[in-house]
Amino acid sequence: MPQTAAAPTTIESRASWVAALIVLAILSISYGSPLLIVVGLKPIQDAIGTDRSVIALAGALVWIGTGAGGIPMGWLADRIGIRAIVAIGTAMMAAGLALSTLGQVWALYVGHGVLIGLIGNGAIYAPLLIYVTRWFDRRRGTAIALISSGQYIAGVVWPSVFERAIADYGWQLTMLAYGVVVIMVIPPLLLMLKPAPDAPVRGMAVKRAPGPRRVLGLHPNMTQAMICLAGFCCCVPMSIPSSHLVAFCSDIGISPTHGAAMLSVLLGCAFISRQFWGAMADRIGGLRTVLIGSAFQAVAIGAFLLTQNELGLFAISAAFGLGFSGIIPSYSVAIRDLFPSSEASWRIPAILFTSMAGMAFGSWFAGRLYDHFGAYGPAFATGVAFNVANLVIVGLLVSRLPRGEKAWHGVVEA
């Protein structure tokens, strides 16, 4: 009798890694846009003549918009295709950069919150993250860590470029020039994306698992809500160095050039360590990886309270990058560990939304505290408090995980 070919045991292939690398390249460009307002925080404040928290809010709105936009855009991507949705986001991002150059507060808010965030990165990050998770089943954590590193490649490459360009040509011309880069680079990369093997048929309704079920002994939406709350709490401290480090350095007498370099060191260390955290998530699961990464972050954010020495701050920035880099990708791994693939198009954007809301709140609130106290110490202390709250929530969820090797996969009870 002729032998029947064995069914493939994995959907992963060389094409999976090609798709991940293309997505990495796209995110390395798209995540440069929010960094413009971080690097240009003081020049933009001086040009408009307003409080620092007002300008910081524009950067915060990018995170809120990106998270909120990811929920409908993730759903829409399953219906019109990944290329179309990311192309829309690319055009809106370039438009947002152009609008922001008008030099009015409303233009910064609409340009960053709505165009760069809601319709721009909202249509790029979450849909591409979901897209890549559907190419992988064995090394999903490693793949998510790789593509999420696009944010840190952007953080290594762009801050020093932006700082020099803003000093030489001004923040408005720099924003316009980067809008041209976005439009010229991302669309050709989109043409290389192929349909994911685990993607739902375009235009078809998503089928949900029949009957009641529980996740970690809780109603699925309760588990989701706890993960989302944990994501908010960990991203408040995460946002403070990411959004205010350059301005903080300038306030204590460190040059903007060195401050931008410090931000690049932070994000560069995050990129390097993210691959380690992704591999860890593949071995011990997303939730346990979140818990360990959050503990590292808590120690590092507290260390910012201890010194204003330039060399010491470079070391703390590097340690902070090493600690926090695996947290957000591991939340997405946890969602895929705990819930079926058919629900990824809304559950992953939901955790991204609450996490980015935490980034937005932390960025704005740190600026507000600075305006009130004239220093960043209270902001860093607030970050420590939120980080402790995250550790409590994630610890409760981890305590409900089954014990044993690979016990985290498919922890769904009928």
State pLDDT tens for residues 296-316: 899 998 898 888 888 888 999
- What's the Cα-to-Cα distance from 2 to each of 5, 18, 394, rounded to whole Å? 9, 35, 52
Question: Which amino acid makes up residue 57?
Answer: L
pLDDT of residue 340: 83
pLDDT of residue 177: 95
- 1 falls within a domain: no
- 139 falls within a domain: yes
- 77 falls within a domain: yes
- 5 falls within a domain: no
Separation of alpha carbons 123 and 89, rounded Å: 5
- 2 falls within a domain: no
239-284 per-position pLDDT tens digit: 888 778 888 888 888 887 888 888 888 877 887 787 888 889 888 9
* HEC assignment per residue over the chain: CCCCCCCCCCCCCHHHHHHHHHHHHHHHHHCCCCHHHHHCHHHHHHHHCCCHHHHHHHHHHHHHHHHHHHHHHHHHHHHHCHHHHHHHHHHHHHHHHHHHCCCCHHHHHHHHHHHHHHCCHHHCHHHHHHHHHCCCCCCHHHHHHHHHCHHHHHHHHHHHHHHHHHHHHCHHHHHHHHHHHHHHHHHHHHCCCCCCCCCCCCCCCCCCCCCCCEECCECHHHHHHHHHHHHHHHHHHHHHHHHHHHHHHHHCCCCHHHHHHHHHHHHHHHHHHHHHHHHHHHHHCHHHHHHHHHHHHHHHHHHCCCCCCHHHHHHHHHHHHHHHCCHHHHHHHHHHHHCCHHHHHHHHHHHHHHHHHHHHHHHHHHHHHHHHHCCCHHHHHHHHHHHHHHHHHHHHHHHCCCCCCCCCCCCEEC
- 55 falls within a domain: yes
- 66 falls within a domain: yes
Mean pLDDT of the chain: 85
Domain count, the chain: 1
36-81 per-position pLDDT tens digit: 888 888 888 888 888 877 887 888 788 788 888 988 998 898 889 8
Provide the CATH number for the domain around residue 95: 1.20.1250.20
Query: Which class for 35: exposed (0-12), middle (13-18), buried (19 or more C-beta within 10 A)?
Result: buried
Q: Which domain range does residue 264 map to?
A: 14-195+211-413
The residues near 244 (Cβ < 8 Å, ≥ 6 apart) are: 41, 56, 363, 366, 367, 370, 376, 379
184 pLDDT band, cuts 50/70/90, is very high
Residue 61, φ and ψ in degrees, nearest 5: -65, -25
- What's the Cα-to-Cα distance from 279 to each of 296, 360, 363, rounded to whole Å? 17, 28, 29
Residue 373, φ and ψ in degrees, nearest 5: -100, -20
Query: Does residue 349 have a pLDDT over 60?
Result: yes
pLDDT of residue 404: 53
Separation of alpha carbons 32 and 93, rounded Å: 11
- 343 falls within a domain: yes
Global confidence as pTM: 0.74
200 pLDDT band, cuts 50/70/90, is low
12-37 per-position pLDDT tens digit: 888 999 999 999 999 999 999 988 88
